Amino acid sequence: MSKRTDVESPRYKWVALSNTTLGILISTINSSIVLISLPAIFKGIHLDPLGRGNVSYLLWMIMGFLVVSAVLVVMLGRLGDMYGRVKIYNLGFVVFTIASILLSLDPFHGAHGAMWLIVGRIVQGIGGSMLFANSTAILTDAFPAEKRGMALGINNVAAVAGSFLGLVIGGVLSEVDWRLVFWVSVPIGIVGTIWSYLSLHETGQRHRGSLDIPGNLTFGIGLTAILVAITYGIQPYGGHTMGWTNPWVLGALIGGVAVLVLFCWIETQVADPMFAMSLFKVRPFWAGNLAGLLSSVARGGMQFMLIIWLQGIWLPLHGYSYESTPLWAGIYMLPLTVGFLIAGPLSGVLSDKFGARLFATGGMVLVALTFVGFLLIPANFDYWVFAAILLVNGLASGLFAAPNVSAIMNSVPARQRGAASGMRGTFFNAGSSLSIGVFFSLMIAGLAAKLPTTMTNGLAAHGVSAEAAKAAGAFPPVGSLFASFLGYNPIQTVLDQLQAAGLHLGNPDIETLTGKSFFPQLMSDPFHHGLVVVFASAAVMCMLAALASWVAGGKYYHADEPVVGEVAANVALPEEE
């Protein structure tokens, strides 16, 4: 059977859907699988991530994959438009698989072992970007407009659910061996590579043009500078709890914004821009991407805050050792994934019939309400209440996700689907990266108002000398957050740091201080104060995303779409391209 016949076969669209869903799933699982596995990884390479000078290794282990994904997806989507979306997508499977093998074989320990993993994660991110940038465009080519919501819904469910599933998978595998966190991607990558090369064919339009070198350089430099600045902005600097006064951080932020402004100007001047600025004249495109960016920031921040909440407070109070909290945090967050898996595909099917506006807007409003719900429960909550809010959050996120992607991709011309898919991916991945800086900064600001006094008084009341207790209260709150996040006992970490600084501890009640209840009880009030700041901000973002989704409209198809029946009345006018 010829390739052309294969493509025209009714089965081909299902082959494209299943393969691209596998590609998206493996990419997004690996965006979060490391988060929950960091304690085992650092123990495996014999490196203390909270030691002096080692925090950068911790941050880049998290951020390297996300930064490269945010920066490269537009360029790789544009290359897909030029040279073939399937060709770039297939190469992504190869790069991703090779990087996974190299990560699994890390031969070093200490700082060298960390650098091997960081570089490997960056290469893995390049492969993941190839998959992410072109999968949506491949699906959009394979499915007719009036059936596309369901397909994009399943694909997008894989994208978001993968980030949640990665937490559970990483927690389980890292309990056995940290290298399994990377090995698990190898057989999936090999199968996906062979399958994609044998089954996927080019069906979309190619737009032969020149690669926008000035645009790619300015975009990459500008966005990288901003994301790197955010990475270092949450680290202490010069006696401050955060690094936002660091001249290098400020310079990178201001310089990055200036370079991105230059990039926007360049894109209006070149014949074949990587970032098709004309697409922002199309209302569903710009409004849908704005909603997607805001929801991505809110979702990423929620993920980090809930992990810290579970690992630092709730799980220890309920008898779990700090070492076991990463695994159980992933398990206790499963209702979030379940809700998303239920609502995601269903909303895609329904949005094909009724349009995107109701589902995308309603989903974001419900997500905002769940953030309010998190604020209303105590730090030591009843799990069934927490699980119910998580489930509703997952259902609401699923209602939003597929209609949002479908509205964006249906509104662009066929020859620009790769670029549009890459642009959407940039907003999605940039939101995940921004969420780390934004929400950690908000939480640290909230903690800084109460934690120093609470820490000083709590330690002094249990035998720590006044000098040492005061010094502990002056430690940046980010240290306690990272310790909780990594499954370390935060108070034991503080005591070790005090001793390393040469301070006399007095006669502390070590058993009580390092027990399972002291830190969670100490942290509950300051942490909840920080949560008010964080989740109130997230709720506002979600309401703005809901407004953008309403503005984006319902059914909307680009003028070159072969639509049928009632949807023909909703075709985009040529002047809106």
Interatomic CA distance for residues 409 and 401, integer angstroms = 13
pLDDT at residue 51, rounded to an integer? 75
Q: Which of 8-17, 553-562, 564-573 has the highest mean pLDDT?
A: 8-17
DSSP β-bridge partners for residue 240: 237
Q: Per the structure block, which two tokens stand in for 256?
A: 């990055």
Listed in sequence order, the DSSP H helices in 143-246 are 148-176, 180-183, 185-199, 213-233
* 205 compared with 67, residue with greater pLDDT: 67
pLDDT at residue 20, rounded to an integer? 92
Taking residues 404-433, report their average pLDDT. Answer: 79
Cβ-in-10-Å burial (0-12, 13-18, 19+) of 378 comes to exposed
Could you read off the pLDDT of 225-235 as tens digits, one per residue? Answer: 888 888 788 87
Interatomic CA distance for residues 11 and 15, integer angstroms = 6
Interatomic CA distance for residues 173 and 184, integer angstroms = 9
Could you read off the pLDDT of 163-183 as tens digits, one per residue? Answer: 778 878 888 888 889 999 999
pLDDT at residue 549, rounded to an integer? 93
Q: How far is CA 256 from the centre of its chain?
A: 21
Rounded mean pLDDT of the chain?
Answer: 84
Q: Provide the pLDDT confidence category of residue 556 given band limits of 50, 70 and 90.
A: low
326 neighbors 487 (Cβ within 8 angstroms): yes
pLDDT at residue 209, rounded to an integer? 64
pLDDT at residue 258, rounded to an integer? 96
Interatomic CA distance for residues 43 and 99, integer angstroms = 21
pLDDT > 60? residue 567 = no
Q: Provide the pLDDT confidence category of residue 9 given band limits of 50, 70 and 90.
A: low
* 566 compared with 147, residue with greater pLDDT: 147
* Low-confidence winner among 146-160, 431-445, 556-570 (lowest mean pLDDT): 556-570
Q: Report the percentage of the chain scoring pLDDT > 70.
A: 92
* 314 compared with 565, residue with greater pLDDT: 314
Q: Per the structure block, which two tokens stand in for 503?
A: 């301070």
Q: Provide the pLDDT confidence category of residue 388 given band limits of 50, 70 and 90.
A: very high
Q: Per the structure block, which two tokens stand in for 505?
A: 């501890």
How would you write 483-498 as a 3-class SS string? HHHCCCCHHHHHHHHH
Sign of CA dihedral 287, 423, 64, 61: positive
152 neighbors 140 (Cβ within 8 angstroms): yes
Q: Report, in angstroms and rounded to the nearest whole number, the Rg of the chain calculated over CA atoms.
A: 24
Taking residues 342-367, report their average pLDDT. Answer: 87
User: Most distant CA pair in the chain: distance in Å?
Assistant: 81
549 neighbors 359 (Cβ within 8 angstroms): no
What is the DSSP-derived secondary structure letter of residue 205? P
Listed in sequence order, the DSSP H helices in 411-465 are 417-448, 451-460
Q: Provide the pLDDT confidence category of residue 87 given band limits of 50, 70 and 90.
A: very high
pLDDT at residue 208, rounded to an integer? 65
Q: Provide the pLDDT confidence category of residue 417 given band limits of 50, 70 and 90.
A: confident
Interatomic CA distance for residues 145 and 23, integer angstroms = 22
117 neighbors 78 (Cβ within 8 angstroms): no
pLDDT > 60? residue 562 = no
User: Nearest-CA neighbor of 472 among 43, 311, 530, 483?
Assistant: 483
Could you read off the pLDDT of 237-279 as tens digits, one per residue? Answer: 877 878 888 999 999 999 999 999 999 899 888 887 877 788 8
DSSP β-bridge partners for residue 571: 557
Interatomic CA distance for residues 231 and 244, integer angstroms = 10
Could you read off the pLDDT of 465-517 as tens digits, one per residue? Answer: 999 999 998 888 877 777 777 777 889 888 988 988 889 899 999 999 999 88
Q: Per the structure block, which two tokens stand in for 40?
A: 């085992």
Interatomic CA distance for residues 238 and 241, integer angstroms = 9
pLDDT at residue 78, rounded to an integer? 79
Residue type for position 127:
G
Q: Angle CA(377)–CA(439)–CA(428) in degrees, nearest 5?
A: 110
Cα atoms found within 13 Å of the Cα of residue 415, Cβ hemisphere only: 10
Residue 261 CB: number of other CB atoms within 10 A? 12
421 neighbors 280 (Cβ within 8 angstroms): no
